[in-house]
Amino acid sequence: HWGNSIENQITKQYEQLTEQDMLASETYRVYFSAFHHKQMINGYSGFFPESYYDNTKRLASFPSDDSINWLRLQKITYIVVHLWQYSPEKRKDMHTTLSNNTRLKLADTFEDDYVYEIVQ
């Protein structure tokens, strides 16, 4: 499920994006990578390779043990969660789930963006 149609997504500013705007979110994430210079497993262009779809399927259950195991296999040590992009109900549930997950350690926060280190 890819959320809102791309036509509805492309006119939104970053602060307006929600969990339903997955494709448009990628354009901003790639843009911001020009500032943080960190390796990322996601990305955006006019073409989405099969690996992108595989990644989103594997991470749909994040922060499940299966998704964290897969991230570790990819040698990923940090993950950024943009909680503000979730609906208020999901945001609260996700925050609680992340806080209680012993495999993730909160490394930093930037307003409602959370950086977690994968520790196990």
> What confidence tier does 45 reach under pLDDT thresholds 50, 70, 90?
low
Count of residues making up the chain? 120
pLDDT category at 102 given cuts 50, 70, 90 is very high
Phi–psi pair at 16, nearest 5 degrees: -95, -10
pLDDT, tens digit (0-9, with 9 covering 90-100), for 68-80: 999 999 999 999 9
Whether pTM > 0.85 for this model: the answer is no
Answer whether residue 64 shows pLDDT above 60: yes
The number of CA neighbours under 13 Å toward the Cβ of 108 is 4
Phi, psi for 61 (deg, rounded to 5): -95, 5
d(CA 71, CA 58): 9
pLDDT tens for each residue of 3-35: 667 667 767 788 888 888 877 787 778 878 888
H/E stretch holding 78 = strand 78-82
